[in-house]
Every structure is written in structure tokens, then in C-alpha cells.
Structure 1
């Protein structure tokens, strides 16, 4: 009976999300701008929570508590304080300027914006192609998280592939119907629900183990080092590397970067990034601390299992544990549906239209986007069955890959002297180098290259510096092309 309750709650919650998508489909317009950007009509609450829910992924709900359980609660500082604040700053530096430019020129994607500024279809395709490459492991991450969540919730009664298949099927059905309008509506509901439920879960667990003091004392008795800052995994190199690569990577995620285009006014965008650090801390505090407190609880967390479902199964009723996992899976779906929607726009707008069918109708483009969603999600599902690393490892790979795009984009937004050749060099060379490092760990007969150097500094940080040096250096050595037009980015704030 408990298994039926667990699966009933999970599937029921996902069906509610699908119903919202159906409503959105009925009111959506037929244009690409409406499908991808909800006609740039999003207000503060929805923009804040659709961005929030889009980042509520398996990396947050399972990877984060797992890392806090293994290494200590400092992960809250890395993700909550440092990245919450740093991403808010980047939201202003990159996002607000993008909104001003996109609102004036009608851009739908980052590649479209850069390609038009530099008069280069090649640059447009390069940015889109790189984004799709790194988007693939992050979509796969959500499917891995869903599979592991269902295994943990049902104590293995439902296999890993079943959970991964469940979320894949729902997100394909949802995205092909809803577009961004439905995604944003559902994200708002899911974000509010998950924020509430994770706090209720923390209070429930604390009550069951004797309160905050008892939970903290048991944690420190089991792992005294959790009571001091730094040490172990949390070296300065690890903290700084993680904070920078994650925050800069998030700004370049297609599903986040496109959110910079959708606000209905500049005031909406400004209010959203101002409130962001508070919202992030409100979520990460209970989720990560449950993972840290778990080291002092009399529970058995199997090797490779996620700690959050184990704690909930032990200290909360079956229906509530299922509700939390359902919410977490919905959060993964919120991330996945946004990724698939943005990925399809990058494919159709930046690859299909410029190189295959420039005269494609809006209707043809919309249907091609839906087919692309299904194909991309299905391929990611099969890749997730191979389980290529932990949730943290897979997520970190994607963050770093996207982070390498950030500094060239900032140069393009703020430095008129940036040239097409400078952009191509600054984007392409670091990406090839990083992809070589990543693939060296999986390709046979190829020496494995280190992902970190000199005591834990992520190699991606050095490649970010290289991206800026190449963009600026090559731009100084080359002349702007006749097709480039810096005036397209000359906008004034409101």
C-alpha cells in the first residue's frame, strides 16, 4: 500500500503540472516569440520564480544535501551566500543589458543577438552549438536525479530507469504543449510549493530528532570537523572555483539566459535580481542542513544513495516523503522543460533557420522545435542509464562549460572594439581545451588530464581568463568586419 501511495502522489503531482501546461497551450499565441519568450510579458513574481524553479534541479535537491552529508555544511556558503549574491550581480551586469538590447531588437536567443551584432552566422552557430553540447549533460542530470529519487523513495521497488523514464515522458509531453508561458506558470507554482515543503520537511525532521540543538549536537559528535569553517574538501581553491564557475555558468545556461529577454519592463528585471539572494538562501538553508544533520542520525545511507529520501523515509510519514520527492521531481522537470525549450530555440533559430531553411514559416519552426525536444530528451535519457558520474560531477561539468562563454559575452556587451575574430577565438579555443580535458577521462588510450591544479583550483578558471585574454587580444589585432554593427548594442537604461 505504501508503494501505491508513494507513486500515486508523485504521478498525481506531475499530472497537475501537465494540466497547467494544457491550459497554457489553449491561451498561447502561434508565434515563436510567444512559444519561446511568452511574448516578453512576464512580471516580477513569475520571472523570479520561473528562474528560481528552473535552477531547482537534481543538483540542488540531491547533489547539494549529499555533498553537505559527505563534506559538511559549508556547501551552504558556496551555493547560498556566494553564488546567490554573485549570480544576482551578473543578472544585472549581463541580464539587464541583454534585456535592453533584446527588447529593442527583438532577439530570442544569445546566439541570435551576438550573430547580429557581429554580422556572423558562424559565431551564432558556434554559440548555439556549444550551448547544446553542455546542455545535454545537464538534462541528463535531471533524469539521473529522478531515477535515484524514485529508487530511494521506494527502497528499490521501482528501478532507476523507471524514475528516469517517468520524468522524461512527462517533460516531453509538457514542453511540446506549453511553451514558456506554461513553463513559467508551472514554475511559479512549483517554486512556491517546494520552498514551503522543504521548510516543513526540515521542521518535521528536527521535531522527530529532538530539535535544532539535538540535531546539531549529534552532527558535531559524529563529525566534529563540521563545526569549523574550511578544511577537507572546502579549501579556498574549491570554494572560489565552485562559486565562480557555477555563478558565471548559470548566466550562460540557455534556460536562464533566455529569462533575461522575457521581462515586461526593466523594473521587473531589477526587482527580480534584487530579491534573488534572499530566495536562494531560503531554499538552500533547510535542504543542505538536512544533509549535514543526517550524519548524526541513526540512519543507514547506502553507498551511492541520496541522503534526502533516506532521511524523509525515516522521520516523516510515507505520504509526506512522497510529496517532497514529488516536488523535487517537479523541480527537476521545471529545469528540464526549460532546458528543452531553450535548446529547441537554439537549434531552430540559430542553426536550422540560418543554414537550412531561412524562409521556414513560424508554424514549421514550432513543429520542428517540438520534434527536437522529444529527440533531445530521449537521447539524454539513454545516456543517463549509463550513470556517467555523480550528480555533483555531472552538474559541475556543465557549469564550467557554460562559464567559459561569460567573459567574451561581457566584452561584446560593453566594449565596442570587440571584433568577430576576437569573439570566435575567445569562445572556441577555451571550449576545445575544456572539452579535451573532459573527454580525456572517458576516452580509451588517452591520458587523463587534470580537472583541477595547484591544490584544487578548477582548470575552468584558467580557461575563463584565457577566454578574456583571447577576446581582447585578438580584437586589438583585428579590424571590425563590414557586417559588424556596434550600434545594435548601444542602448540606454530605463
Structure 2
């Protein structure tokens, strides 16, 4: 096990604390489905924004981003267009209030609001629910594989055992506390992640000599302007890089101007107290998520610096756990690992809660029209 008992203790304390949050929030979440899936409109905008940014800060995505910049340099920023990274600005400008004004519970119900209650609207709703539930299953698998690869570097248990354990803990506190436990746990997770990001960024700034680093990686690593072909061509990017840039940017722009989201995004905006707060959610989202970029670039810089020292190439996907093992002292390592586990859990808990809202509100409720709030809550728990 590459983890001291102090670090392991920090991780265990964090996991227990998350479960206690779910137990504490159970009574508030169990009133009705509005409370269970939207917090009853009582949560402050800054907390919703922190929760939203936390859902975008997953461990698998962070490992992937580090590997992209490790291979491509600053040009790796073009690949982030695939995820429409300026999203928060558009949410603050108009998409947040657009979602709030609809008055519906889920992004799938928004399709009925947009296209009417007739066959067209209901068909669009059902189709998107089924597609989104399928995508969520794949995304959970993607997230599980990433966190399994990460944790097996530090813990003596099998990858599958650790993933199932995390799934169980996260599922339990989401089941108990609904959207309240999701937002409150995301709030503490965001603080933990931000502290870890600031610590690693400051440490990298102090320990890595910029002149030496630039000499080691070369001037090409710092170039942002897109080119049709990379020189030298990385093994993982044999296709024309310029074509990939066009595809990434096109997808990102389309995403920015489409409807106001269908999953965790829409849920945060609808949970706001009013239209103004819905826009502020986008503002807080963009401000808080900025620390992720500092963390990603710090891990990348450390990985490249270690490569120049040892002369041994490192698997791009193994850069993040390798840096954690080599750079961080006891205590700090436990806090950072707990923060990265939190990154996984914040994405997973939102996916679970949103998926349950789709099943309850968009599959069961339209068919079971006479269902009471108590019966719908039971469906939510089962989902």
C-alpha cells in the first residue's frame, strides 16, 4: 500500500463524514419530489454554483486532461472545446434564467414545455429520457474505471472492490438525502478540492524552475495556435490535428447555443430561488471551476519535470498518481486523495440524483397520473 496510516485515516474520516451528511439531510429531502430533486428552492445560489462546478471536477476527467496537456502541451486547450468550457459564461448571461423560467422539474420535462403536451412533446421527452439514461450508465462506467485505476496505485484492494465500495457509499447518501445531500456534500468537496489545488499549484510554482522547464520541454510545448499536423506527431494523435480542432470547436459552439441543459446543469438552475439567482449560479460555477485548471497544469508540469530528470517516458494516464506518490508529504497526500475521491463522488452523486429524477418524473409520473407525493417519493428511492 502506497499510503500511510495517517493518509488512510484522512480518507476514512472523509467517507464517514459524507455518509453523516446524507443521514442528517434525510428529513428535509423526504417531503416531496420538489425537495428531493430540487431542494425545495431553499438553497443559496453560491452553494448551487459550487455544487455544479464540483460535478465537472471528476477524477477520471482530471486524469484525462493531465494526459492531454502532457502529450499536446498548451495546444491541448483546443480539445477542451469538446466540453464547451466557456459554458458558465453563457449560463450566467441567459441559459440559467431560461431554465428557471420553464418551471419544470427536469430537462426532459422541458421538452414538453418547449414542444407542447401532444404527441411531439411526449415523444421527444421519452426518447431523450431513454437516451440520457443509457448515456449515464456509460458515464458511470467511465468514471468507475478512472477512479479504479487511480485508487489501485495507493490501496491494497482490488480495483473492482474499491469501485463497488465507493458506488455503495455514494449511492447511500444520495438515497437518504436526495438533492440536499448532493449539494451539501459537493460544497464540502469543493472546499477540499480547492485547498488541494491551491497547495499543489503553489508547490509546483516554488519547486519547478521555469527556465529549466522551458529548456526541457521546448518552445513548441507553449504554442497555442492550432496547426494542421503536429511535429513531431504524437503516437496518440496520428490524425490531422487541425481536423480534430475543427470538430472540437464545432461541437463546443453548438453545445453553448443549445437548450439549457438536460442533467445536472438544468437541475442547479431550476433549484435556484429566483431568476437572478439562477444567473448567479452560472457566475459561481465559472469562478470555482477555475481552480481545476491550476491543478491540471501543476500535475502536468510535475510530470514533465520528472520525465526530464529520469529520462523515462511515463504513461500519460499514470502522470497524476505518479506525481502524488513522489511529490506530496504525509498528511497532505491524504487530503489530496480524499479531494480527488470527492471529485469522483461529486460527479457520481449528481448523475444518480438526476437519473432518479428522470425515472420518477419523466417515466413513471406521466403513466401513473394518480400517484401521490408519497408514492412518487417511494419511486425516487427505488430509482
TM-score range, shorter chain: 0.7 to 0.9
Partner of 1:111: 108
User: Retained in 2: the 8 A contact 1:83–1:246?
Assistant: yes
- Mapped partners of 2:181, 2:345: distance in 1: 13
Displacement of 1:39: 0.7
Partner of 2:328: 316
User: Retained in 2: the 8 A contact 1:25–1:177?
Assistant: yes
Cα distance, 1:199–1:304 mapped onto 2, change above 3 Å: same
Cα distance, 1:4–1:16 mapped onto 2, change above 3 Å: same
Cα distance, 1:243–1:369 mapped onto 2, change above 3 Å: farther
Query: Aligned pair 1:211/2:208, yes or no?
Result: yes
- Mapped partners of 2:313, 2:375: distance in 1: 50
Q: Deviations over 1:206-255 (max 9, x none)?
A: 44xx33525xx336514552122244359454345335535728953512
Partner of 1:344: 356
Displacement of 1:91: 5.3
Cα distance, 1:30–1:37 mapped onto 2, change above 3 Å: same
Aligned with 1:367 (options 353, 357, 378): 378
Cα distance, 1:128–1:160 mapped onto 2, change above 3 Å: same
Partner of 1:69: 70
Displacement of 1:115: 2.0
Displacement of 1:190: 1.0
Partner of 1:33: 34
User: Retained in 2: the 8 A contact 1:149–1:163?
Assistant: no
- Mapped partners of 1:301, 1:367: distance in 2: 53
- Mapped partners of 2:264, 2:17: distance in 1: 22
Aligned residues: 361
Aligned with 1:225 (options 216, 220, 224): 220
TM-score (norm. length: structure 1): 0.66
Displacement of 1:27: 3.1
Displacement of 1:351: 0.9
Query: Aligned pair 1:148/2:145, yes or no?
Result: no
Cα distance, 1:9–1:133 mapped onto 2, change above 3 Å: same
Higher relative contact order (CA 8 A, sep 6+): 2
Cα distance, 1:19–1:74 mapped onto 2, change above 3 Å: farther
Q: Deviations over 1:341-364 (max 9, x none)?
A: 110110111111223x22222222
Displacement of 1:75: 3.2
Q: Deviations over 1:248-295 (max 9, x none)?
A: 289535122221211102221222323443333332123234224412
Aligned with 1:269 (options 268, 271, 278): 278
- Mapped partners of 1:48, 1:114: distance in 2: 24
- Mapped partners of 1:203, 1:364: distance in 2: 52
Q: Deviations over 1:54-103 (max 9, x none)?
A: 1111343211112212221333465499944344215544332120121x
The 5-angstrom pairing of residues 456-467 of structure 1 reads none
Partner of 1:358: 369
User: Retained in 2: the 8 A contact 1:255–1:338?
Assistant: yes
User: Retained in 2: the 8 A contact 1:76–1:285?
Assistant: no
- Mapped partners of 1:241, 1:185: distance in 2: 37
- Mapped partners of 1:201, 1:278: distance in 2: 19
Partner of 2:293: 284
Cα distance, 1:235–1:152 mapped onto 2, change above 3 Å: same
User: Retained in 2: the 8 A contact 1:80–1:280?
Assistant: no
Partner of 1:325: 337
Aligned with 1:245 (options 242, 248, 251): 251
Structure 2's unaligned 5+ residue stretches are 231-236
- Mapped partners of 2:350, 2:85: distance in 1: 20
Cα distance, 1:66–1:166 mapped onto 2, change above 3 Å: farther
Instruction: Tell me how large the CA RMSD over aligned residues is.
Output: 2.8
TM-score (norm. length: structure 2): 0.84
Q: Deviations over 1:402-434 (max 9, x none)?
A: xxxxxxxxxxxxxxxxxxxxxxxxxxxxxxxxx
User: Retained in 2: the 8 A contact 1:183–1:337?
Assistant: yes
User: Retained in 2: the 8 A contact 1:56–1:335?
Assistant: yes
Structure 1's unaligned 5+ residue stretches are 373-494
Partner of 2:185: 186
Query: Aligned pair 1:173/2:172, yes or no?
Result: yes
- Mapped partners of 2:350, 2:177: distance in 1: 11
Cα distance, 1:219–1:332 mapped onto 2, change above 3 Å: farther
Secondary structure, in 3 states, of the residue corresponding to 2:74? coil
Displacement of 1:6: 4.0
Cα distance, 1:266–1:65 mapped onto 2, change above 3 Å: same
